Amino acid sequence: MSTSATTRASSTVPSSAEVAIAEVTDAITPPVLPGAGGKRTRVRRHGPISPLGRVLIYVMLTVLTAIIFVPFFWMVSSSLKQNNEVFSIPVQWIPTEFVWQNYVDIWTRIPMLTYLKNSLFLSVTITILQVLTGSFAAYGFSKMHFKGRDVLFVAYIATIAVASWPFLLLCSLPLGPAFAAGCWSFQRSRDAADAGPLREVGIGLLRTWRAALAVWSLVCALTFVVVIDIVAVWGTPFAMLLGPLLVVVLLLAVVAAFGVFAGLAAAPGLRFRAQLLGGLVRTVRRPGTSLLSLVLLAAWALIVLAQPVLGLLALGGFVLYAVWSNAAAALAD
């Protein structure tokens, strides 16, 4: 519900160019044609209007119309005045002398024809392009069901920035469920001797991927914010204080995420909020364990950076097992 609200909301915030185009089309095709609508549209009435009421309404409408038309009247009347007569005291509503010459001058003094041609070209081109491509696209979006349609639609309205490292961060999302599944497999292998480790990975993936994905998304979002913040305070006096603080917060979050993964494996029945809270509390209350997990993960990250193949293939399982057993130990008491 909330996502649909946001996407619809952002779709109503187009660029100024879009609005200009939309206004052109709006002006040409208003929802109800006001002039033509008078006779044909269904008009509501509560019985007959009394003659007095009718007169009153006509008087009101006439006064309103007059007020609304004052600027137009002024425009027409000024266009027929001498320059010095436009601002005269008292106001000259009707020119003393009709200067039709003004309408001749606009064609000779300025390239009026070129201006008109430009305006005409713009409005015709914009209208044709907009109606043609817009109706096609609307048909495609509403009547066709195809792969990538919803993604495309979201791209149309959400327009999210994609930079390089945030993109990598997004790509790392599957890591969360993978870690959680690993923890699940370790847990089951310890609980029951005959459990097939690989099969348990699959089961764990199925059972925990939602929660794990949510937790890992949180970590990614936090990483994003922290990196942006560090870039922002870099070089300012605050960096001394804020930089380490932000890094510590981020590291804590990473360890807490692993704590939650271990918790998901140990007590799959628990509610998500309880899991999250438990992971956080364990991380903060067992600083020694957290630190150990952190050191292990950091060492692993360093090895992966130096020797990606060796780090990922040979050491990944071991490091993960160590981190998990560490977290599970914290879980046990």
Partner 1 sequence: MAIAAPPQRTRSSSRVRRNALVGWSFILPNFIGFALLTLIPMCAAFVIAFMKWDSYSPPEWVGFANFARMMRDESFWIALGNTAYYAAGHIPLTILASLGLALLLNRKLRGLGFFRTAMFFPYITSLVAVAVVWNMLFNPTAGPINQFLELIGVADPPGWTTSSAWAMPAVIITSVWRDMGYYMVLYLAGLQSIPQEYYEAAEVDGANAWQRFWNITIPSLRPTTFFVLIMVTIASFKVFDLIVVMTGGGPGRSTLVLSQLIYREGITENRFGYSSAISLVLFVIVLVFTVVQFKLQQRKER
Q: Name the H helices within 41-79.
A: 51-79
Q: Name the H helices within the chain.
A: 2-11, 16-28, 34-40, 51-79, 101-109, 112-143, 149-158, 164-171, 175-191, 197-233, 239-266, 272-285, 287-306, 308-309, 316-332
Contact criterion met (CB below 8 Å) for 290 and 262:
no
Locate 199 and state its tokens.
């099969």
Could you give the 3-state DSSP secondary structure of residue 215? helix
Q: Which is nearer to partner 1, 84 or 108 (CB)?
A: 84
Least distance in Å: CB of 76 to partner 1?
Answer: 10
Least distance in Å: CB of 146 to partner 1?
Answer: 4
Least distance in Å: CB of 129 to partner 1?
Answer: 7
Q: Which is nearer to partner 1, 45 or 109 (CB)?
A: 45
Count of beta carbons in the 10 Å neighbourhood of residue 268: 14
Phi then psi for residue 46, to 5 deg, are: -105, 85
Q: Which is nearer to partner 1, 54 or 190 (CB)?
A: 54
Q: Which is nearer to partner 1, 87 or 318 (CB)?
A: 87
Which amino acid does the sequence have at 90? P
Least distance in Å: CB of 306 to partner 1?
Answer: 27
Q: Which is nearer to partner 1, 5 or 306 (CB)?
A: 5
Q: Which is nearer to partner 1, 34 or 288 (CB)?
A: 34
Peptide bond into 90 cis (omega under 30): yes
Q: Which is nearer to partner 1, 152 or 284 (CB)?
A: 152
Q: How far apart are CA 22 and CA 270, in angstroms?
A: 51
Could you give the 3-state DSSP secondary structure of residue 163? coil
Least distance in Å: CB of 210 to partner 1?
Answer: 23
Least distance in Å: CB of 261 to partner 1?
Answer: 32
Least distance in Å: CB of 211 to partner 1?
Answer: 27
Q: How far apart are CA 315 and CA 323, in angstroms?
A: 12
Contact criterion met (CB below 8 Å) for 127 and 25:
yes
Locate 163 and state its tokens.
């930079």
Which amino acid does the sequence have at 191? D
